[in-house]
Amino acid sequence: MSAPVSVTFAPVDFDALKTAEGRIALLLVPDGRLGAVARRVDRLMRGAVSRALEGKAWGKLKPGQSLDLSYPAGVAAEVVQLVKLPKKATVEEARKAGAAIGKALGEAGLTVVAAGQPKTAEMAMGIALRSYTFANYLSEKNGDKGVVTVMADKPEEAEADFAPMAAVADGVCFTRDLVNEPANILTTSDFANRLVEMKKLGLEVEVLEEKDLEKLGMRALLGVGQGSESPSKVVVMQWKGGEKDAAPFAFVGKGVVFDTGGISIKPAAGMEEMTMDMGGAGVVSGVMRSLALRKAKANVVGLVGLVENMPDGKAQRPGDIVRSMKGDTIEVVNTDAEGRLVLADVLWYAQERFKPTGMINLATLTGAIIIALGHENAGVFSNDDTLAGAVLKAAQAEGEGAWRMPMGPAYDELIKTRLADIKNTGGRPAGSITAAQFLKRFVKDEVPWCHIDIAGVALPPKETAFAPKGASGWGVMALDRLVRDMLEG
């Protein structure tokens, strides 16, 4: 597993700077005025810094962007990276400056000079997020990262500010690892084992096995997994950092470790991407990890439904009718609309057992949300304007795109069937909304609830500001912030 690079903070030390190997990053204000520390570094480098700042290239950089000086005189480092960061930088600009540094981090390590700069911890968060790589299966590159030392005016202060952020970065990287893992490695059992490991962090973790799910009547979830050799599981993670015995907030995730479509099989082209169909469960797991690592003062329960959707002699067929834990019958007209079947039972179980104060589910639920919103925004569906508003606000603050989508009883017409209480798809029109309406049927009216369709954002097609190409970890930061704002405040 790839934990984020560890960032340590230290006072400015010119001797260490002279002999530092690898890369040095200097954070500098846009107008090129050098502070006392930067002036000494400039002198050490025989004026190379001030010369660069007079050049055109520096002038063109936006806040958070950088310029490399190769083989500079006066220091042992191979590269000195000049990073533009305004005195009144926003959180996003500070993180982007860190991301520019983190992206360049190699094995030789990194020394960052942040003296006189604002938002040092946020900058370090950018380093932690963007230096992530997933190199588990690359024989050549083992992905080892050197150490990162940030030289700051008040290292203790920066370190204290950074500690809870490091917990969140760890959660983000945990989610990315889960989403990046192939399905032959991340089976339902392997996934569950990785969550059980988190008991060490103080989380209570239980694994419900097929016999338990059978007893609970989770036939909708079990139907999805019945064509797979991997046993279906529900994992319950409880973080009890709030008032004793107070009802928790619930996060629920779709954890389809691979989605072939089942008997309604998907086309071959692009099917390999369906290793990410556990993305919702990945986010829930990453958030629970962050909450535990930073010892959040809140009661939160995370539940994930882990299944594999495979075609097989035992697999569910189109036309099968299953009874959900709630008791409602479902006609499975398309075995590829499996996520909602899994969530229906886990959502119901979460409410019956925990009587949560509110509930958010995350899922790579529909291709239709990519048609609607592309890879820029997750789709947010809700029965509660206050909760939806809080989710959008938290996502915005963390720079994670999210957009509210409509719901309404008129859409229910599309998922009616003569054979059962409901069918699992309404065809192409409003495909993401009918999926949300389906889920809503399994949410009690009095529970504030939000469904977030992350099919477009969990595995973006290109690198982003804070992640290399591959899993983004979208939502871990937003939901961690939501917990802070809504439950810890």
**Residues forming the active site:** 266, 340
**CA 95/CA 12 separation, integer angstroms:** 21
Minimum CB–partner distance for residue 450 and Zn ion (Å): 19
Question: Which range in 359-367, 378-386, 460-468, 469-477 contacts ligand BES by CB under 6 A?
Answer: 359-367
Q: How far apart are CA 308 and CA 335, in angstroms?
A: 12
The correct pick among 364, 382, 383, 437 for binding ligand BES (CB under 6 A) is: 364
Sheet containing 329-332: order of strands:
320-323, 329-332, 422-423
Give Cα separations from 374 to 20, 144, 281, 401, 440 (angstroms).
43, 33, 21, 11, 24
Nearest by Cα to 455 from 428, 483, 478, 475 = 475
In degrees, rounded to 5, the angle at the alpha carbon of residue 377 between the alpha carbons of residues 373 and 378 is 95
Q: Which residue is nearest to ligand BES, using beta carbons?
A: 367
What does 334 bind: Zn ion, Mn ion, ligand BES, none (CB cut-off 5 to 8 Å by kind)? Answer: ligand BES
| Residue 426, beta-bridge partner list | none
Give residue number: closest CB to Mn ion: 336
Q: Which does 480 bind (CB under 5 to 8 A by kind): Zn ion, ligand BES, Mn ion, none?
A: none
Looking at beta carbons only, is 205 or 310 nearer to Zn ion? Answer: 310
- Contacts of Zn ion in 235-274 (CB under 5 A): 256, 259
Q: Which of residues 256-315 bind ligand BES (CB under 6 A)?
A: 259, 277
Q: Which of 177, 308, 331, 336 binds Mn ion (CB under 5 A)?
A: 336
Query: Taking the complex as a whole, how short is the minimal distance between the CB of residue 469 and ligand BES, in angstroms?
Result: 16
Q: How far is the CB of 347 from Mn ion (least distance, A)?
A: 18
425 interacts with, out of Mn ion, ligand BES, Zn ion, none, CB within 5 to 8 A per kind = ligand BES
CA 20 to each of CA 15, 111, 185: distance values in angstroms, whole numbers, following the listed order? 9, 7, 39
Least separation in angstroms between CB 442 and ligand BES: 17
Q: Which is nearer to Mn ion, 338 or 400 (CB)?
A: 338
Q: Binding pattern to ligand BES, positions 408-437, x when CB under 6 A?
A: -----------------x-----x------
Sketch the per residue contact string, 334 through 373, with Zn ion: x for CB under 5 A, - otherwise.
-----x----------------------------------
Name which of 364 and 383 has its Cβ closer to ligand BES.
364
Output 196 or 370, the one with its CB closest to Mn ion.
370
Q: How far is the CB of 266 from ligand BES (least distance, A)?
A: 7
**Binding status of residue 259 toward Mn ion by CB under 5 A:** yes
Q: Which of the ranges 11-19, 314-322, 365-373, 414-422 carries the binding residues for ligand BES, by CB under 6 A?
A: 365-373
**Does residue 277 touch Zn ion according to CB under 5 A?**
yes
- Does position 308 interact with Mn ion (CB under 5 A)? The reply is no
d(CA 392, CA 73) in angstroms, rounded, equals 49
Tokens for 258? 């691979």
Residue 150 CB, shortest distance to ligand BES, in Å, is 37
Distance CA 306, CA 190 (A): 10
| Residue range at the interface with Mn ion (CB under 5 A); choices 131-139, 155-163, 237-245, 329-337 | 329-337
Residue showing the smallest CB distance to Zn ion in the complex? 259
453 binds Mn ion (CB under 5 A): no
368 binds, among ligand BES, Mn ion, Zn ion, none (CB under 5 to 8 A by kind): ligand BES
Q: Establish if 480 lies at the interface with Mn ion (CB under 5 A).
A: no
Residue range at the interface with Mn ion (CB under 5 A); choices 82-90, 98-106, 330-338, 359-367:
330-338
**Residues of the shown chain interacting with Mn ion in the complex, contacts defined by CB under 5 A:** 259, 336, 338
**Residues of the shown chain interacting with Zn ion in the complex, contacts defined by CB under 5 A:** 256, 259, 277, 339
**Residues of the shown chain interacting with ligand BES in the complex, contacts defined by CB under 6 A:** 259, 277, 334, 336-339, 364-368, 425, 431, 455
